[in-house]
Amino acid sequence: MTSIPRIFLCRLAAAIIPFAIAAAAPRAALAAYPDKPIRMVVPFAPGGGTDLIARAMGTTMGDDLGQPVVIDNKPGGGTIIGTDMVAKSAPDGYTLVMATIAHATNPSLHKKLPFDTEKAFAPVMLVGRSPNVLVVKPDSPIRTVQDLVAAAKAKPGKMSYASMGAGTSAHLAGELFKNLAGVDMIHIPYRGAGPALTDLLGGQVDVMFATAASVAPHLEAGRLRAVAVTTAQRSQAPALSKVPTVAESGVPGYVADSWYGLFVPAGTPPAAIARLNAAARKAVQSEAFRQRAQQEGLAISAGTPEELGRYVKGESERWSKVIKQANITAD
């Protein structure tokens, strides 16, 4: 049997070893994931419902992951600015976005987006769903939905409602209300719930279909009054359990849920997504978060990435029809 020359073996090893090291490097890097802080982009200004939910989850997720989860507020463009930043980030598991209904509706509201929503993101977890709340100042003459309808019809184009930005749940809830109630109201968009609520409290706008998370402290302190909730059934939150739905208050068929979901850039390694999903599930199932969710009427989901993907697809299809029928725009 002919022996293989030693020099040939040495050259073969020299050629193979670099490839073996290169192939093992991604596995080693992923095994160490995460080894640096993770950024969770909130496409709204600080102080709103999405911001509060993200911060409530961030600390617990950071403890579980062994790295801090840094909340990065990037408001503007009806969530497009912050969402686009995530779409263009490296798909390495270190950048997430806390998305809302705008993630599902922006493709129908805008003729052109700087990213392809279906192709640019990978789902991580549906955090949960909650009602929006029609709120007014305590001294407002608007005490019922019918009061708002009557006032809007008496002054067409004069009554105003605030939102966290074009395409957000507050915007769509207001536009759906206008369409089904047959009234004309002015939409005033802001760069988040915080600035919008500041102007509502200051009397610059008349009403807001705000997220439950953003108005819970104001309702508890008596700075705002809840008129109705936007869900099909009344909320189970203690502070909202006696508040009627918009539908039962005289606007049949009215339903407009709010939701929160985590996404990462498309191409993020499945193992990193699974790790983030596990940390997010642990965060929302913590006692502190569960108590907060109960107070605000947030129905926790904590499911798989695939469940979030299916849910958002359904939301996109449902709201696409509503937006087209009601001729809702992001302007």
Are 284 and 293 contacting, i.e. CB atoms less than 8 angstroms apart? yes
Domain boundaries, the chain: 38-129+259-326, 131-257
| Cβ neighbourhood burial of 289 (10 Å; 0-12, 13-18, 19+) | buried
Is residue 21 scored above 80 in pLDDT?
A: no
Provide the b/e sequence for 84-102 (b: ≥16 CB within 10 Å).
Answer: bbbbebebbbbbbbbbbbb
C-alpha angle 135-137-143 in degrees, rounded to nearest 5: 65
Distance CA 251, CA 45 (A): 31
Query: Could you tell me the pTM of the whole model?
Result: 0.80
One-letter amino acid at 121 equals F
123 DSSP β-pair partners: 263
Q: Look-up: residue for tokens 């090291």?
A: 21
Q: Residues 6 or more apart from 26 whose CB is under 8 A from it?
A: none
Q: Provide the pLDDT confidence category of residue 243 given band limits of 50, 70 and 90.
A: very high
pLDDT computed for residue 226 by the predictor: 97
Contact yes or no for 263/97 (Cβ under 8 A): yes
pLDDT at residue 26 in the model: 47
Pairing assessment for the beta strands 95-99 and 121-136 based on DSSP bridges: unpaired
Q: What is the pLDDT of residues 259-279, one digit of tens each?
A: 999 999 999 999 999 999 999
Query: Would you say the CATH fold of 131-257 matches that of 38-129+259-326?
Result: yes
Question: For 50-100, what is each residue's pLDDT tens digit?
Answer: 999 999 999 999 999 999 999 999 998 889 999 999 999 999 999 999 999
Pick the residue with more confidence: 288 or 95?
A: 95
CB of 137 closer than 8 Å to CB of 201: yes
**Alpha helix ranges (H) inside the chain:** 6-31, 49-65, 80-87, 101-109, 117-120, 145-154, 169-181, 193-202, 212-221, 270-284, 287-296, 305-326
User: In whole angstroms, what is the distance from residue 23 CA to residue 44 CA?
Assistant: 40
Asked if 110 and 77 touch (Cβ cutoff 8 Å), the reply is no
312-318: list long-range contacts, CB under 8 Å, 24+ apart. Answer: 312/99, 312/103, 312/104, 312/123, 312/261, 315/101, 315/104, 315/105, 315/259, 316/104, 316/105, 316/107, 316/108
Instruction: Residues 131-257: name the CATH superfamily.
Output: Periplasmic binding protein-like II (3.40.190.10)
Average pLDDT of the residues in 251-262: 94
Q: Tell me the pLDDT band of 297, cut-offs 50, 70 and 90.
A: confident
38-129+259-326 classified as CATH 3.40.190.150: yes
d(CA 239, CA 215): 11
